[in-house]
Structure 1
Amino acid sequence: MALARARGLDARALARTRTRTRNVARVIGGGPRGGSNDADGRAWRDDVDDETLAYVRKASTASSFEERAFGDDVIGEKLLRAMRVQWTHGFASTPSGFPRCTHGFGEILAGMQPAACDLILRDVLSGSTSVLDPFAGGGTTLVCAATLGMRAVGTDVSPLACFVSAHRCWRPDETTIDEMVHRASAARDLAKSAEEQSVESDAEEAGDGGVPRAWRRIRDALRASNGGVSGGRVDESLWFCMSVALQRTQKSQSKARPRKGKGKRSGGSRGGEDNADIFYKVVEEYADRLRQFRAMCSTCDSQAPDAEIHNIDVRRFKLADEAKVDAVLTSCPYPAVYDYLSFARKVRAGSGAVVSTSSPRSQGPTSSYVNTVVPGDRNWPKEWMEGEIGSRRALRSDPYAFRDAWQREQEEWLEVVAHSLKPRGRACIMVGDGANIDTRASMVSAAEKFGLKTLAGATMKLTTTTESGNVYNQARTEHLILFEKH
């Protein structure tokens, strides 16, 4: 009430504002960084009021966003077009008509809209044959680059991000895909025929991080089928699909209200047999997505090499002179918005608990995720705890030092970007404001120190003005900035 009076609003007006915000968040996925969970973006229309629907229709057009370009007019307009796509569709799904490939398959915290990423690569960074994403996340830039025939390099400090992006960027041949589906079918049949184990040993519970009981039969069936013709790569893809299947069932259960007198079931709606079918359907979906991704890549005049993915803090990453890239495209961490490593640990201990550590030790970018045993005492290895830039945890730990630390971190990773680019190479970076930091000014200042000249940029806002004249941000201000190395 005191807050409402201070802003010139009565309690009812404030409640209406909050309701509108919640409705809009449900419709457009929490603002421009969200996205509809349905394939065609229309499922929400049945459960929102007409006023909210009219508002969202208006907000989905470019004129509803407060947009501004700066720098070169032609480039600025191209950046604005990409930002309109980003804000209209969010990051979690692909627009109708845009190839899904492997985009959005697997749990990740945030990312760039695939259609916006594709537009930037084609329209803003056209002519580039290689690209680096220093904050690869779920691999959106890497997948889009591959479909355009570009060599792609990605780094990320999060083991979860590297695990997901590696499986999104995988391009197996048809024989390998068939083997994956066949082994999934065999594991499903074995899980259905097995007797459910009522008791698990304490050691197994601790080692698996607590796999839901309803998923243990299909997990054990997969363990029994490890070691096919293609070895570890197919093994990992099946564990990846199982973690996706478990994640989806857990999310659907969290939304469903338990029946009166009965609590939520653990990890599945009707027990192990249904979960085996859910797992198999996820594998079939993944196989279809991989086929589409491979087909998109095959349309290029020269097929791109497999993406290079490195599980490393970008500030410790260095490309050899002969491996430098023409372009950089990334959506970097926003100040004090997320805790990516905390999220990675949560997923590994949750839906990722089904990933077996009993197989031969994994190599490459997925090794930290696959080889790590979920600790029972929260004493995670240091690669799961250190190296994150601009985390929300850092702001909570020392609010007074956060701004200076943020600026120092920007300079450190932008120095790597400058070193990784060829002369006249370009870097397109998406960043949002947070913690009362103007990230556009912060980034431009840091980039100039390493010979990165600002060519153009675009800024997007979405605000609302109350009857009393007060202005509120309805979405985080975001910038898309293009630099060139001199």
Structure 2
Amino acid sequence: MEFETLDEKDWSEIKDSSSKELTHDIHPYFAKFSPEIPRYLIREYTDEGDVVLDPFSGSGTTLVESLSLGRNAIGVDANPLACLIAKVKTTKLQDGDRRLAREVISDISTDVNSLYGQQNLIGKSFEEPEIPEFHNRDDWFNKNVQKELAVIKRRIEDVQNERVYDALRIAFSRIIVGVSNQDSESRYTQVENDVDNKECLERFTEQANRILDKLQTLEAEVPGPVETDIYNEDSREMDGVPSNCADFVVTSPPYLNSWDYGLYHKFRFKWLDLDVDTFNQREIGRHLRRKGDKVSRYRDDMSAVLENVARVLRDDGCAVIVNATSVVDGEHIDTNDILVEEAQKHGLTLGNSVSKEVYGPHFGMRANSDKMEENQKFEKMLVFHEAD
């Protein structure tokens, strides 16, 4: 597999608008790389029907692009919220799913109206739902917001159709930060946020209908009977992924000392009954967790992942990793060198013409970036082959 065309590609042409295509923008998620990167790589270096694997699949950018190009896809991620987002992004709804979803949305509207003492249109007595308990809940969510979210959550939990259930859970998750007292998606600071009565309902209804429309767009783009398998697993283990199953790997690993997904999505985990503590133990490279051994721990973690990448790749397969350097405690760390060194230990060799600097479409560098030279604010493509 030859990669000379990577040097001919003008990656500065990548536009952020591509993230709004297909189902890519149905839910916020940090540091997503531009869909143009996996799209180009998959289109140029795989064939229809091949299997593309992303061991850090996140919210599913690689998986969506694989499906749209007629490739099968496998995603692995330790984050259960990310896996749920990716699952919905790659779901093909069946006959009646949209009708059922809109019936549930209508029922939720009735329940919220009942919450505020308006006529119960279905003629049944209304009981206020139980609100999930978690630390400082009343500081982060106003009382009216808590009640409306609990009403929406209860009705969704009654849905038996898995495809509809998941889609509505993502619509629910989509609105949680916006109606909370968290400052923003990427700023875990408490602010005052006056949310009107029924605003949660309005936001949920808008997002649910938007997701249904987006999934219909995806269905029209998927060319054949391709499938996606998503594993909510530790990428250092990948127990569920069989050996020699992938023709191509394309991924962007967590950047050392960058985003803390468990923190910024904390309230989504709580309202969706997801296990944030287990995820925090699995998350690689997370920011502000431990001192002293961040770099050595990152090296060990990525070595374990690369060992699995070598295991799942077929003999003639290759892996493309999009990565950037990091700053840890004021020191510049070239994580590209770490990846190359650890990959070699597991029989993966960096090709001669496979490095390509790409200005960061999802560059997530945190503090101290002013201490880095300008050319260090780039992401690099590393293409690995099985050693001869």
Q: Could you tell me the TM-score, scaled by structure 1's length?
A: 0.64
2:130 aligned with 1:235, yes or no?
no
Distance 1:275 1:225 in 2: 14
1:459 to 347, 353, 357: 357
Structure of larger gyration radius:
1
Partner of 1:185: 106
SS of residue paired to 2:308: helix
Partner of 1:479: 380
Distance 1:447 1:169 in 2: 30
User: How big is the shift at 1:449?
Assistant: 1.9
SS of residue paired to 1:271: coil
- Does structure 1 conserve the Cα–Cα contact (< 8 Å) formed by 2:179 and 2:193? no
Gaps of 5+ in 1: 1-71, 256-262, 358-368, 373-379, 463-469
Partner of 1:38: none
- Does structure 2 conserve the Cα–Cα contact (< 8 Å) formed by 1:432 and 1:477? yes
Partner of 1:84: 12
- Does structure 2 conserve the Cα–Cα contact (< 8 Å) formed by 1:459 and 1:480? yes
- Does structure 2 conserve the Cα–Cα contact (< 8 Å) formed by 1:313 and 1:387? yes
**C-alpha RMSD of the superposition:** 3.3
Partner of 2:148: 217
Give the 5 Å matches for 1:333-482. Answer: 333-349=254-270, 353=271, 355=272, 369=274, 372=275, 381=277, 383-394=278-289, 396-398=290-292, 401-435=293-327, 436-455=332-351, 456-460=354-358, 472-473=373-374, 476-482=377-383
SS of residue paired to 2:203: helix
- Does structure 2 conserve the Cα–Cα contact (< 8 Å) formed by 1:453 and 1:483? yes
Distance 1:207 1:130 in 2: 41
User: How big is the shift at 1:446?
Assistant: 1.6
User: How big is the shift at 1:428?
Assistant: 0.8
Partner of 1:138: 59
- Does structure 1 conserve the Cα–Cα contact (< 8 Å) formed by 2:50 and 2:72? yes
Tell me whether 137-146 or 173-182 shows the greater mean CA deviation: 173-182
Distance 2:214 2:312 in 1: 31
Distance 2:171 2:53 in 1: 27
User: How big is the shift at 1:474?
Assistant: 8.6
- Does structure 1 conserve the Cα–Cα contact (< 8 Å) formed by 2:93 and 2:163? no
Deviations 1:95-120 (A, max 9, x none): 6xxx7221021131211111222112
Cα distance change on mapping 1:480 and 1:346 into 2, 3 Å: farther
Distance 1:141 1:187 in 2: 33
SS of residue paired to 1:289: helix
- Compare the two structures and name the one with the higher helix fraction: 1
Distance 1:404 1:205 in 2: 38
Distance 1:264 1:402 in 2: 35
Distance 1:295 1:248 in 2: 31
Cα distance change on mapping 1:132 and 1:207 into 2, 3 Å: same
Gaps of 5+ in 2: 119-126, 186-190, 361-370
- Does structure 1 conserve the Cα–Cα contact (< 8 Å) formed by 2:77 and 2:231? yes
2:220 aligned with 1:295, yes or no?
yes
Matched letter for residue 308 of structure 1:
D
Distance 1:221 1:450 in 2: 48
- Does structure 1 conserve the Cα–Cα contact (< 8 Å) formed by 2:153 and 2:172? no
- Does structure 2 conserve the Cα–Cα contact (< 8 Å) formed by 1:191 and 1:218? no
Cα distance change on mapping 1:336 and 1:154 into 2, 3 Å: same
Cα distance change on mapping 1:446 and 1:127 into 2, 3 Å: farther
Deviations 1:210-264 (A, max 9, x none): 5543332364255246534x43442332232122123345599869xxxxxxx94
Cα distance change on mapping 1:236 and 1:207 into 2, 3 Å: farther
- Does structure 2 conserve the Cα–Cα contact (< 8 Å) formed by 1:458 and 1:480? yes
Cα distance change on mapping 1:277 and 1:393 into 2, 3 Å: closer
Aligned length in residues: 352
User: How big is the shift at 1:160?
Assistant: 2.0
- Does structure 1 conserve the Cα–Cα contact (< 8 Å) formed by 2:177 and 2:267? no
User: How big is the shift at 1:144?
Assistant: 0.8
Q: Could you tell me the TM-score, scaled by structure 2's length?
A: 0.79
Distance 2:333 2:182 in 1: 36
User: How big is the shift at 1:73?
Assistant: 7.2
Cα distance change on mapping 1:129 and 1:385 into 2, 3 Å: same
Give the 5 Å matches for 1:177-326. Answer: 177-195=98-116, 204-206=131-133, 209=137, 212-215=142-145, 216-217=147-148, 219-220=150-151, 223-224=154-155, 226-228=157-159, 230-249=160-179, 264-266=192-194, 268=195, 270-272=196-198, 274-297=199-222, 300=223, 302-305=224-227, 307-318=228-239, 319-321=241-243, 324-326=245-247
Distance 2:64 2:56 in 1: 14
Partner of 2:123: none
Partner of 2:367: none
Cα distance change on mapping 1:127 and 1:445 into 2, 3 Å: farther
Matched letter for residue 285 of structure 2:
G
- Does structure 2 conserve the Cα–Cα contact (< 8 Å) formed by 1:196 and 1:217? no
1:149 to 70, 78, 81: 70
User: How big is the shift at 1:156?
Assistant: 0.9
Deviations 1:18-65 (A, max 9, x none): xxxxxxxxxxxxxxxxxxxxxxxxxxxxxxxxxxxxxxxxxxxxxxxx
Cα distance change on mapping 1:439 and 1:285 into 2, 3 Å: same
